[in-house]
Amino acid sequence: MSHQVIVLSEKEMPEVVRYYGTNKVIRNAPGVIFAAKTSDTSITAYRSGKVLFQGAGADREAARWSANVSISAVAKPKPSGATGDTLPANFASLSVLGSDETGTGDFFGPITVAACFVSSDQIELVKELGVKDSKQLTDAYMQQIANDLKEVVTYSVKTLDNAAYNDIQSQGWSQGKIKAILHNQALQEVLEKIDPVVPEHILIDQFAQRKTYFNYLKDESNIIRDRVLFSTKAENLHVSVATASILARVAFLEAMDQLSIEAGVTLPKGAGPRVDQVACQIIRKKGEPFLHSITKVHFANTQKALKLVYKK
Ligand code: MG
């Protein structure tokens, strides 16, 4: 399916709305100010001035309004340093189910994994709602756009709380295995939700080699294997992974806010010296078992915090 995106000025937009007025359709999506459907083209106009044309007549209709119709769906070169599977040239414009996780390097709080399906016709809308490479986004910004995204995409978020994490970790599960199982579950849930629609590809932000990943899953009853691709920096390769990354992060932040209330102190992220100090305060105020209940106990921070407790 062909598609074109043009950007119009405030003056030009009403002309487009008037022109396609008799073909108007209702599309209640955030950021959309007007939508129409002709015999061979869907037209979606956004508040920002972007207009998306999709379908067999996309080039022709877009050319009515713009002298320099841009060709979208060009091959996106892999960002430097990305490793993993070789993706199709037009990967960024395909319907993809992506997944990513967060919280794995944070002493406090859960691990969260999100999977998210973005179909080719939702890509512009998702970008319009503010999805960029999440590594460039602030926590506040991600929290601000997450609700709109949740209305548009089909997603699943898995949160593994500290009690469950510590339990399986102490049984010898590696973080890799824990992540693989959560990714697999999240992907499975989204596939069930979008059924009978099937993504063209599944892209996992790579944290293990393919062989290792599937080895982690060997005891699972339902292993999502079909169409699965792996790449590092996958949030730059498809908006579905960038969106998954945002939803995982926002779930992590929400859990951190809740745990901060329970702990009576704002819990720092990461695993640095500030984390040791706050952990030490928490042991003094609420005891060691409470600290364990909100942390990944096997991190070196546990011992460092205990040292601080007995030092003073
Ligand atoms: Mg990742």
Task: Give 50-61 pLDDT, tens digit per residue.
Answer: 999 898 888 888
Distance CA 90, CA 72 (A): 9
CA 246–ligand 1 middle distance (angstroms): 11
CA 69 / ligand 1 centre spacing (Å): 35
pLDDT of the residue at 312: 60
> So what's the pLDDT on residue 60?
80
CB 1 within 8 A of CB 73: no
Give residue 88 CA to ligand 1 midpoint distance, Å. Answer: 21
Q: Report pLDDT for 71.
A: 46
Distance from residue 59's CA to the centre of ligand 1 (Å): 36
Enumerate residue ranges in the chain where pLDDT < 70: 1, 68-81, 133-135, 312
Q: How far is the CA of 102 from the centre of ligand 1 (A)?
A: 7
User: What is the predicted pLDDT for the residue at 72?
Assistant: 43
Burial of 275 (0-12, 13-18, 19+ CB in 10 A): buried
Tell me the H-state helices in 108-238: 123-128, 139-152, 162-170, 175-194, 210-216
**What is the 252 CA–ligand 1 centroid distance (Å)?**
14
The whole-model pTM stands at: 0.77
User: Which of 151, 72, 155 is closest to 113 using CA atoms?
Assistant: 155
CA 210 to ligand 1 center in whole angstroms:
15
CA 99 – ligand 1 centroid, Å: 8
CA distance 260 to 117: 31
Ligand 1 centre to CA of 238 (Å) is 13
- Ligand 1: distance of its center to the CA of 205 in Å? 5
All residues with CB under 5 Å from ion ligand 1: 100, 205
Ligand 1 centroid – CA 201 distance (Å): 17
Tens-digit pLDDT profile for residues 100-144: 999 999 999 999 999 999 999 999 999 999 997 556 788 999 999
